Amino acid sequence: MTVSFAAALTACALGGAAVIARALATWLPGMGMMDTPAPGFQERAVPRGGGLAIVLPLLVLAVLVIPQDAAARRHMVIPLVAAIGIAVVSLIDDIRTLAVPVRLAVHIALAAATIAALGPVEEISAGPLGRLSLGVAAWPLTLLWIVGMTNAFNFMDGIDAMAGITTVVASGAVVVATWLVGEPHVCVLALLFGSAALGFLTANWPPARIFMGDVGSTFCGFLIAAIPLMAPTESESRLAPIVGLAASPFLLDTASTLARRLLRGENIFRSHRSHLYQRLVLAGWPHALVSCLYGAAAAAAAGVGIVMTLA
């Protein structure tokens, strides 16, 4: 694949996502897919489901970068097909709310199917610090990782640009890492993913014209978590910690919030305003500043991961 072809695909992903996001902002209100105003967070009703602007161009363009080698093709196609399943169920949830156990069961089933087909992440590489073998814990930890990321993105997609920025940063980290380790097909796919998310951000930047919705947040979380499985074992062990560090602001905020709510005996699936990013907004911080703060933290952590893992 030539550089000019990859650049053309990148431009298509970015431009296509931007155009689709604006079209959806006009079309979705007629379907009743609107988030109602939330004092302190959202002053007006905004359409949800805009994550389709990321899903659609990425999947169309991904067909053009799927490798010819059967094994490499399998490693790329299976996570993409599973991510489509996540997006379909989440779109249904955006249209008419599904029960939490149903959504979670689908997340677990598709994550388990992906791991069964491709195998779990068995090792974590820390560059000169050595490797950590996960042994018998590889399967449950990989399952927890994918399902946890899928839902962490959903939990954290609560203010303008938050999930979009983190998707761009995590995808960018994968682009750099896969370019350095020589995984061109995964590199281009991550480039298209990040470009589509950037295109969506043109309509989601504060004040947002459209929200990502579950169809976008769960798709992005699942695919980011599954990207290491797209690479051969040697590269997989290096990509996993880089992706984990890029998503660490989301994971830490989600984990700490869930822990506090569980200790207080709260229903963790009910709406709340306990996340750190929510507290910052309620304290008067602008959405753009909070989202950029999380994005900067993700970029710094990913940079550390790239230097540490690939040194």
In this structure, are residues 16 and 64 in contact, taking their beta carbons and an 8 Å threshold? no
- Burial bucket for residue 68 (CB in 10 Å: 0-12, 13-18, 19+): exposed
In this structure, are residues 214 and 94 in contact, taking their beta carbons and an 8 Å threshold? yes
**Domain hosting residue 41, numbered range:** 3-310
At residue 1, the pLDDT reads: 67
Residue 278 CA: distances (Å) to CA of 126, 162, 211, 271, 282: 33, 11, 16, 12, 6
Name the band, by pLDDT with cuts 50, 70 and 90, for residue 27: very high
pLDDT tens-digit map of 243-285 = 999 999 999 999 999 999 888 888 877 778 889 999 999 999 9
Supply 6's token pair: 């990859």
φ, ψ of residue 216 in degrees (nearest 5)? -90, -45
At residue 233, the pLDDT reads: 67
pLDDT tens-digit map of 181-228 = 888 999 999 999 999 999 999 999 999 999 999 999 999 999 999 999
* Rounded distance between C-alpha atoms, residue 175 and residue 193, angstroms: 10
DSSP string covering 165-180: HHHHHHHHHHHHHHHH
Supply 255's token pair: 């984990």
Kindly tell me if the per-residue pLDDT of 290 is higher than 80.
yes
Kindly tell me if the per-residue pLDDT of 91 is higher than 90.
yes
Average pLDDT over residues 156-166: 93
Enumerate the H helices of 123-272 as residue ranges.
138-156, 162-181, 184-204, 213-226, 233-246, 248-263
pLDDT tens-digit map of 225-242 = 999 999 876 788 889 999
Q: How many domains does the chain have?
A: 1
pLDDT tens-digit map of 31-79 = 888 887 777 677 788 999 999 999 999 999 999 999 888 888 999 999 9
* Rounded distance between C-alpha atoms, residue 253 and residue 190, angstroms: 24
Size of the chain in residues: 311
Kindly tell me if the per-residue pLDDT of 311 is higher than 80.
no
Average pLDDT over residues 88-106: 94
pLDDT tens-digit map of 110-139 = 999 999 999 999 999 877 777 888 999 999
